[in-house]
């Protein structure tokens, strides 16, 4: 993979297709072009399993004919093909039923300037295939050498990617940005007394020099796997439950889905009509930050050219804002929060960016020490979450807490409750917030949940 650009400039392509769409009769239009390269190298038991390299470019065009609109995509950047494509999308728009809420954002919301968000680090793109393999091998080797009970592996994977995004619209916006991403993961398997367990660990970053070293990732993956050995269910009971950061982030993802515009105007959210209400503990503050430096979901503008921003979604338990694209904002009589995202060939819709629960003041060890008897959740399974009602029931695994200490591993249990009550029951929030994905949280303690076991 190389950091060099291709001969066809995506910014020029979007300008051309918009010009041709307007000439074909579009009353408004916008376009996005993406050039991307990605590479992944996986190893298993010290041997290379796969080496993948992909390069793609796509052009997406949305055209309006009054209140009617259509969107389509193509991979052909040839000028003649772009011209024909624009005319075809305009014809499609004329055949679609009108929607009074469709349209481009108000020009006053468009980004006019943006800071350097440190999204692009091309140095790692020059790593040779041998260097990429070496990183994956070192990660897996560190995991397997940590303990003789680690007898197998589902592999280690090192991945990197680079992209350039260009967007422009007939509302007068044009902009582009570059980004890179790097990730490394390992998934060892442990065996003891005829039983086997697996777990994993990973890191991800915009720049290679900020990625955790392979050995530390491997050792963490090993420790997480070993602590699952000897797991057993516990009797059904109601106890405090502590979620590790990975599992706390999964709770936050349900909140993210409930505050995004599409779920709201479809009336499929348990947070519908709750703006300004207490929905969580006073310890619960949630932020969506589209301009977090080096954030894995950061971007200077959204998929409609609207300026991204830092949005406080929940402040001390009070729901302060939804996350909205232009269409959802108009449907709900609100204002866009710069949260539009889109696949190249799809219409924009709201999604979270760097969505996180603000860190608290407690060390994870102190949170565990505060629990006389309860469950420390390190794994979840199943899909028992109702986005309309907030009812929650999922398979769980983790470690049992007794007298403030981690004792034995637990599996084959179910934890159940309602998300609104769970958010209100947050009693402690950890200080261990780390941004390694687009939705993150620190350790949290819930006052009580039903743990159903044997």
Q: What is the pLDDT of residues 88-125, one digit of tens each?
A: 999 999 999 999 999 999 999 999 988 999 999 999 99
Tell me, what's the pLDDT at 7? 57
Report pLDDT for 5: 40
pLDDT tens per residue, range 173-207: 999 999 999 999 999 999 999 999 999 999 999 99
Mean pLDDT calculated for residue range 275-300? 98
Segment 422-437 mean pLDDT? 97
∠ CA 104-355-41, nearest 5°, is 100
Residue 229 has pLDDT above 70, yes or no: yes
Give me the domains of the chain, ranges plus CATH numbers.
10-224 (3.30.2290.10), 231-454 (no CATH)
Contact 326, 103 (CB under 8 A): yes
User: Mean per-residue pLDDT for 10-33?
Assistant: 97
Instruction: Specify the pLDDT at position 172.
Output: 92
- Give residue 6's pLDDT band: very low, low, confident or very high (50, 70, 90): very low
pLDDT at 174: 97
Q: Kindly report, residue by residue over 325-347, the tens digit of the pLDDT.
A: 999 999 999 999 999 999 999 99
- Per-residue pLDDT band for 383 (boundaries 50, 70, 90) equals confident
SS3 137: helix
Q: What is the DSSP secondary-structure string of 16-76?
A: HHHHHHHHTT-SEEEEEEEEEEEEEEEEETTEEEEEEEEEEEEEEEEEEETTEEEEEEES-
Q: What is the pLDDT of residue 171?
A: 94
Whole-number pLDDT of residue 2 = 46
Q: Work out whether the CA dihedral 413, 417, 423, 426 comes out positive or negative.
A: negative
Q: Is the pLDDT of residue 4 over 70?
A: no
Q: What percent of the chain stands above pLDDT 90?
A: 96
């Amino acid at each position: 993979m190389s950091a060099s650009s291709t001969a066809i400039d995506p910014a020029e392509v979007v300008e051309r297709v918009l010009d041709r769409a307007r000439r074909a009769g579009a009353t408004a239009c916008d376009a996005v072009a993406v050039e991307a390269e990605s590479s992944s190298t996986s190893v298993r038991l010290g041997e290379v399993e796969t080496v993948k390299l992909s390069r793609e470019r796509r052009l997406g065009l949305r055209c309006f004919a009054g209140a009617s609109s259509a969107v389509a995509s193509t991979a052909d950047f040839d000028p003649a093909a772009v011209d024909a494509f624009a005319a075809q999308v305009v014809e499609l728009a004329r055949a679609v039923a009108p929607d009074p809420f469709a349209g481009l954002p108000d020009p006053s919301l468009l980004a006019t300037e943006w800071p350097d968000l440190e999204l692009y680090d091309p140095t790692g793109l020059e790593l040779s295939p041998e260097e990429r393999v070496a990183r994956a091998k070192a990660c897996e080797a560190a995991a397997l050498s940590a303990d003789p009970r680690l007898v197998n592996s589902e592999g280690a994977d090192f991945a990197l990617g680079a992209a350039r995004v260009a967007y422009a619209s007939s509302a007068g916006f044009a902009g582009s940005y570059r980004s890179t991403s790097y990730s490394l993961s390992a998934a060892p398997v442990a065996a003891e007394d005829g039983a086997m367990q697996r777990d994993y660990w990973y890191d991800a970053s915009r720049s290679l020099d900020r990625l955790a070293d392979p050995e530390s990732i491997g050792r963490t993956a090993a420790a997480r796997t070993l602590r699952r050995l000897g797991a057993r269910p516990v009797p059904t009971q109601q106890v405090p439950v502590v979620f590790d950061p990975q599992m706390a982030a999964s709770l936050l993802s349900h909140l993210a889905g409930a505050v995004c515009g599409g779920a709201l105007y479809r009336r499929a959210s348990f947070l519908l009509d709750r703006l300004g209400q207490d929905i969580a503990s006073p310890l619960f503050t949630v932020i969506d930050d589209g301009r977090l430096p080096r954030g894995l979901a950061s971007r200077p503008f959204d998929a409609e050219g609207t300026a991204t921003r830092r949005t406080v979604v929940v402040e001390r338990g009070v729901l302060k804002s939804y996350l909205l694209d232009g269409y959802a904002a108009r449907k709900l009589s609100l204002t866009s929060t710069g949260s539009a995202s889109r696949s190249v060939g799809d219409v924009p819709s709201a999604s979270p960016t760097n969505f996180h629960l603000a860190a608290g003041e407690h060390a994870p060890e102190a949170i565990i020490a505060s629990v006389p008897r309860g469950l420390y959740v390190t794994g979840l399974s199943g899909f028992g979450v109702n986005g309309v009602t907030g009812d929650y029931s999922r398979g769980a695994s983790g470690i049992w807490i007794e007298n403030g200490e981690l004792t034995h591993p637990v599996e084959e249990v179910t934890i159940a409750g309602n998300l609104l009550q769970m958010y209100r029951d947050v009693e402690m929030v950890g200080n261990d917030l780390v941004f390694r994905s687009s939705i993150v949280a620190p350790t949290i303690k819930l006052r009580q949940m039903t743990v159903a076991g044997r």
